[in-house]
Amino acid sequence: MRALFRKSALLPEVAAWVGLLVLMVVSLVSSYVPLGLGNGIANLAIAGVQMLVVVFVLMHLKEGGALPRLAAAAGAFWLAIFFTLTFSDFLTR
C-alpha cells in the first residue's frame, strides 16, 4: 500500500482530502468552545485555510496555465462585487 502512494500522483489530493477533513473537525469542535468573538474569527481562519488548500492543491492553480487563473480571478472579482453590494445595502437600512 505504501509503495502505491509513493509512485502515485494521487498523494497530494489524498493528503488535501485528509487535511480538509481534519480542518472540518477542528471547525466543528471550535464551534462548541465558548470563545465569544473568537469563534467567528477562528472559523473564518479555518475556512480561509480550507479555501487555500482547495485552490492550490485540488484546482492546481499554482502550476496551471493562464486560463484557470483568469477564471479564478474573475470569480473572486465577482464575489467581491457581490459582497460590496450586499454590504452597501446593509449599511443603507
**Side chain identity at residue 27, one-letter code:** S
Each as own residue / partner, the long-range contacts of residues 69-78 (CB below 8 Å, 24 or more positions apart, any chain) are: none
**How many other CB atoms are found less than 10 A from the CB of residue 83?**
10
Q: For the whole model, what pTM was predicted?
A: 0.74
Write the pLDDT tens digit of every residue in 14-49.
999 999 999 999 999 999 999 899 999 999 999 999
Residue ranges of domains in the chain = 1-58, 64-93
